[in-house]
Structure formats: C-alpha cells, structure tokens
Structure 1
C-alpha cells in the first residue's frame, strides 16, 4: 500500500514523465501565441507578482510592469528597475541609490531573468500539454525535460480570441511558487531607442557598481 501511495505521489510531483510527446493542441495554441507576441513592435504588460513558499509558509505580493522588444526589456517593480539592451543589464535599487551593471547568463528561463523567454521556451527543452480549453481561455502546462531542472512546471493561461497572456505560474522543486497575474497586455507600443538602457542623468546621486 505504501509503495502504491509513493508511486502516486511521484506521478503528481513529476507529471511530465507521464508522456513523452508534445500535445499537438497545446503546440498549436503556443505557436499562435508566440507568433503574435514576437511579431509585434513590443509587448507591454502590467501585473501583480505573487511569491509563495510552502517550506517556510511565507508569501509576498508586489505590482510591476514590463515592456520588451525581442530580448530587450525594461522591468519595473516596486523595489527595483531592470533594463536590458540585449547584452548589458542594469539593476537599479532606488532605496539604496545604487545600480549594478552585469552581463547576464543565457540560461535563465525565468520571467524575471528573461521575460521574452515565455513566448519561445516551449520550443526546446519542454513538453507541453493543453489542460483545459474554455470559451475565453486556454490553460497549458510546460514540463522541463531535464531531470535536474530547478522547477517542476510552468503554467500559462492564454486568453481567447486575442491570445493575450492572462496568468503565468512557475512551480519550483523547493516549494516556491511564483505567479504573475497579468492586468494589462498591449502589443501596440513603439519603444524609443533609450527605453532599454539606464540613463545616469535621470538618476543623479546613484552609485554605479560595474560587475562586468
């Protein structure tokens, strides 16, 4: 009996191992979702970001916004602002009056690490599954193929018929769940050439820490 319960638990914890092929219905939705977002001049979102940790029973919530064009983005949260121009990242902490300059790694699949990844990461390294289709939305799970991945799954709620992102959830093996509730999704903005870079003249008195 204990063995049966243990096996059932493993199936719940690692559902990706239960199927070896991508769900064609999920791929069809994701292809349309990706094509529409990446084909636009930019993607702008406003959202509520929730973090929950089952291990220590803590949770937090904050509002934010992001505008991205290709791999470039500006991510504005309540406690920091991040600019990325495709090669260099600037992370500003207004309260500490300091900005850190880095050259990010290329393997960060998280929304905060590389927002544009959410529109294309399903193409490689993930299995997809359409969990539910309603009159106004699709619910799709992405399961990492790598056993040593730090997360169990990524869940997307995609709106119909506009194919807008409604909700994004990362579930990690350490018990942490990060949820992005999207309140605004816009594909019509044309960002300026300075949108994705830190401009020191606008933040006088800020200490610059160059970690490149």
Structure 2
C-alpha cells in the first residue's frame, strides 16, 4: 500500500512539474514576443551557422517592412512583395511572404512572435539567468515538420539564439545585438537594380 501511495505521489508531482514548466515556457515566450511587439522599428545583428559555414548579417524592421543583409545577399520586403537580391549573380527574385512563417531569415517581422502561433512551447531548462524553450508545431497546425529551440536571457527577455531543426537540417542563428532603428528604413529602390535579371515567383 505504501508503494502505491508513493508511486501516486511521484506521478502527481511529475504532472505538477510538467504543468508548471509549460506555464513558465508560455510566460517566457510571451515576454519575448511582447518585447518585440513594443518596438516599432529596430535593428538586429546576428550570425548564422549551418554545418561548417558561418556568416554574419543584419536585419532591420520598421512596422511590417524589413531589410536583411547577409553576405552578398539582400532581402527587401515592402509589406507586400519580397525582393531577394543576389549581388554576386546580379539577380532579383520576387516572391510573396507567408505571414505565419516564424523563420528569422524568411520573415524577421514575426521571428520572435510566437504568441497565438501554431507552435507549442515547452521548457527544457532554466538556470543562471538563461532559459531554453523548445517550440514544436502543433500536430494539426499544417506547419512544416521541425522544431525551434529558443534561448532567452530571462532578466531582459531578449533572445540569445534560435536553433531551427527541419528534417535533420539544422540552422543556428545567434543574436549579437538588438538596437532601436536610428533612422527610417529606406524604400526599396527598383532603379538601383535595373541591370539585374528579375525572376518573379509570385
């Protein structure tokens, strides 16, 4: 009888711990999302690692528009059309943006806005002022299979890194700095790329 009581107690304690961890994960995600929602325009320095390749970049967000600079590539989004510019190949590719996409390289406006998204957060660990939250697509969400691991400095609710794992393909984005945008984001200058080849995938 004592063994049964002990086992029930362990199960109840485990369930309570799981519930508390889920609540804390949601709280952390809400804190990060709220911090970015409060900023109307900002600039983020980051570093991308994929396998043995590492590259520094920057993106700037102003409302629903953004610009990304990563190596020889630039991306401009004017709120309607995404312009991907390959300055090495001298190509401009036009495409639409999925507003539900949370990938920082595809849609930085929503990169840290996981509230009311199709991702379910769970707390992997929290210690020494840092929390690690796993975000997994809900089973019936229709989101691509894969997960996002978010590392957050809990004192400021600022993200430190994002690790994307889609079907074994891992991309890690380390956040190097976040600053308010000091001047308005310029509009995309189509004339500056008149000599480039234009490819329209819209």
TM-score, normalised by the number of residues in structure 1: 0.76
Task: Identify if the C-alpha distance between structure 1 residues 193 and 80 changes in structure 2 by more than 3 Å, giving closer, same or farther.
Answer: closer
Task: Identify if the C-alpha distance between structure 1 residues 210 and 143 changes in structure 2 by more than 3 Å, giving closer, same or farther.
Answer: closer
Superposition pairs for residues 55-204 of structure 1, below 5 Å? Answer: 59-146=52-139, 149-173=143-167, 175-186=168-179, 188-192=180-184, 194=186, 197-203=187-193
SS in 2 for 1:192: coil
Distance 2:121 2:102 in 1: 15
Alpha carbons 1:20, 1:127 under 8 Å: kept: no
| Greater mean alpha carbon deviation, residues 83-92 or residues 135-144 | 135-144
Alpha carbons 2:47, 2:173 under 8 Å: kept: yes
- TM-fit CA distance, 1:71: 3.2
Distance 1:84 1:166 in 2: 25
Structure 1 runs, 4 residues or longer, greater than 4 Å off: 19-22
SS in 2 for 1:158: strand
Distance 2:182 2:49 in 1: 29
Distance 1:71 1:21 in 2: 34
- Unpaired runs of at least 5, structure 1: 1-18, 53-58
Distance 2:200 2:143 in 1: 30
Alpha carbons 1:170, 1:178 under 8 Å: kept: yes
- TM-fit CA distance, 1:81: 0.4
- TM-fit CA distance, 1:129: 1.2
Alpha carbons 1:135, 1:160 under 8 Å: kept: no
Task: Identify if the C-alpha distance between structure 1 residues 70 and 207 changes in structure 2 by more than 3 Å, giving closer, same or farther.
Answer: same
Alpha carbons 1:170, 1:177 under 8 Å: kept: yes
| Greater mean alpha carbon deviation, residues 98-107 or residues 137-146 | 98-107
Distance 1:103 1:191 in 2: 26
Alpha carbons 2:97, 2:107 under 8 Å: kept: no
Distance 2:146 2:96 in 1: 27
Q: Which structure has the larger Rg over C-alpha atoms?
A: 2
Alpha carbons 2:21, 2:123 under 8 Å: kept: no
Q: What is the total number of aligned residue pairs between the two structures?
A: 184
TM-score, normalised by the number of residues in structure 2: 0.79
What is the root-mean-square deviation of aligned Cα atoms in Å? Answer: 2.5
Distance 1:36 1:82 in 2: 24
Distance 1:29 1:104 in 2: 27
SS in 1 for 2:49: strand
